[in-house]
């Protein structure tokens, strides 16, 4: 109730000043609706290799290797997605991380942290 009163007061002040409330301040019509992809803002995440890693053209070991990096190499990562399942160094999963270039992938098992190198955004 208090939030509704504050919102109403703020909208009244904006109207008096000849301004309109931003769309984000409007009450949602469907509280269960998910935001459209274009409405999401995702910041890149720094990821670090813990061992030697091949950087590939897609999320599969069948794809071309763009280059290879050593341990503790830092990348800017955009998001993660499912790709080929890989078993290496005692880890098995199919999560791959899209790097900041937007055209290179690294298997998450080669990154420090979680299976996605702690990248929270799914592509």
Please state, in angstroms and rounded to a whole number, the distance separating the CA atoms of residues 64 and 79: 20
pLDDT, one tens digit per residue, over 57-107 is 999 999 999 999 999 999 999 999 999 999 999 999 999 999 998 999 999
Q: Which residues pair with 48 in a beta bridge?
A: 74
Asked if 93 and 111 count as a contact pair (C-beta separation under 8 A), the reply is no
- pLDDT tens for 4-48 read 333 344 444 334 444 344 443 333 333 333 334 434 445 799 999
Reported in sequence order, the residue ranges of the chain that DSSP labels E, i.e. its strands, are 45-48, 53-56, 65-69, 74-88, 91-99, 105-107
Both tokens of 44, joined, read 């890149």
- pTM exceeding 0.75: no
Residue 45 neighbours by CB under 8 Å, 6+ apart? 76, 77, 117, 118, 119, 120, 121
- Give the length of the chain: 123
């Amino acid at each position: 109730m208090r939030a509704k009163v504050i919102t109403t007061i703020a909208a009244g002040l904006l109207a008096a000043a000849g301004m309109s409330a931003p769309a984000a301040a409007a009450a949602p019509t469907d509280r269960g609706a998910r935001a459209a992809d274009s409405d999401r803002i995702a910041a890149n995440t720094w990821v670090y290799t813990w061992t030697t890693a091949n950087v590939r053209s897609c999320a599969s070991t069948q794809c071309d290797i763009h280059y290879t990096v050593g341990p503790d190499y830092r990348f800017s990562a955009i998001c993660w997605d499912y790709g080929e399942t890989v078993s290496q160094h005692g880890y098995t999963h199919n999560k791959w991380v899209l790097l900041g270039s937007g055209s290179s992938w690294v298997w998450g098992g080669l990154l420090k942290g979680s299976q996605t190198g702690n990248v929270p955004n799914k592509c």
